A and B are shown apart, each in its own frame.
Chain A
Amino acid sequence: MEAFLAAAIVAAMPLLFATLGELITEKSGSLNLGVEGMMLMGAVTGFIVAFGTGSPGAALLGAFGAGAGGALIFAIITVTLRGNQVVTGLTLTIFGSGFASFVGDPLIGKSVPKVVQAFFKGAPLPGLSDIPFFGPVFFRQDVFVYLGYILVILVSIYLYKTRPGLHMRAIGENTAAADASGVAVDFHKYAHILFGGGLCGLGGAYLALVYVPMWQADVVTGRGWIAVALVIFASWNPTKAFLGSFLFGALSILGFRLQSMGFHISQYLVDMFPYAATIAIVIVSTHKNRKEDLPPADLSVPYFREER
Chain B
Amino acid sequence: MKESAPAIEMRGISKSFGSAYANKDIDLTVLPGEIHALLGENGAGKSTLMNMLSGIYRPDSGSIFVNGEAVRFASPKDSIKRGIGMIHQHFKLVDVMTARDNIILGGNSGFFLNNKALNRRISELSDRYGLDVKPDKKVYEMSVGEKQTLEILKVLYRGANILIMDEPTAVLTPQEIEKLFAIIRNMKAQGCAVVIITHKLGEVMEISDRITVLRRGEAIATVETAQVEIPTLIEMMVGRRVDLSIKRESFHGAGPDALSGEQGLLCVDGVTVYDKDKKAALDGVSFTLRTHEILGVAGVAGSGQKELCETIAGLQAAEKGRIFFEGQNILGKSPRDIIRLGIRMGFIPEDRLGMGLVGSMDIVHNMILKEYQNQRGFVLRRGPSAEKAQQIVDRLDILTPSVHTPVSRLSGGNIQKVLLGREIDSDPKVLITAYPVRGLDIGASFRIYDLLNEQKARGVGVIFIGEDLDVLIELCDRILVLSGGRITGALDAARTTKEEIGFLMTGGAA
Contact = CB atoms under 8 A, between A and B. Distances in A.
Given A161-B112, A308-B408, A178 B96 contact: no
Contacts of A284: none
A184 B77 contact: yes
Interface string B74-108: 01110011000010100111111100011011111
A299 B223 CA distance: 46
A297 B91 CA distance: 15
A166 interface: yes
Interface in A178-196: 178-184
Nearest to A184: B77
Contacts of A291: 95-96, 138, 140
B245 to A, nearest CB: 34
B92 A308 contact: no
Most buried by B among A164, A181, A183, A306: A181
B56 interface: yes
B112 A297 contact: no
Interface stretch (A36-44, A86-94, A116-124, A167-175): A167-175
Given A161-B113, A179-B76, A182-B80, A173 B94 contact: yes
Given A163-B110, A163-B111, A173-B97, A180 B104 contact: no
A189 to B, nearest CB: 14
B105 A166 contact: yes
Nearest to A306: B57
A177 B409 contact: no
A180 B92 contact: yes
Given A173-B96, A174-B94, A180 B88 contact: yes
Contacts of B92: 174, 176-177, 180-181
Interface string B185-219: 00000000000000000000000000000000000
Contacts of A178: 94, 105-106
A302 B209 CA distance: 41
A261 B88 CA distance: 65
A92 to B, nearest CB: 27
Contacts, number: 90
B378 interface: no
B317 to A, nearest CB: 22
Contacts of A292: 96
Nearest to A307: B408
B112 A182 contact: no
Contacts of B140: 291
A221 interface: no
B94 A167 contact: no
A297 B95 contact: yes
Contacts of B76: 179-182
A162 interface: yes
A181 B54 CA distance: 10
Given A179-B76, A180-B86, A182-B80, A162 B96 contact: no
A305 interface: yes
Contacts of B409: 308
A163 B108 contact: yes
B148 to A, nearest CB: 14
B113 A181 contact: no
Interface string A290-308: 0110100100000001101
A182 B106 contact: yes
A176 to B, nearest CB: 6
B95 A162 contact: no
A176, A182, A292, most chain B CB atoms within 10 A? A182
Contacts of B97: 166, 169-170, 173
A174 B90 CA distance: 12
A281 to B, nearest CB: 23
29 contacts: A161-B113, A162-B111, A163-B104, A163-B108, A166-B97, A166-B101, A170-B94, A170-B101, A174-B92, A174-B94, A176-B92, A178-B94, A180-B56, A180-B86, A180-B88, A181-B76, A181-B80, A181-B92, A181-B102, A182-B75, A182-B80, A183-B77, A183-B106, A291-B96, A291-B140, A294-B96, A305-B56, A305-B57, A305-B75
- 8 shortest A-B CB distances, which residue pairs? A181-B106, A182-B106, A182-B77, A177-B92, A181-B105, A180-B92, A182-B80, A173-B94
Interface of A: 161-164, 166-167, 169-170, 173-174, 176-184, 291-292, 294, 297, 305-306, 308
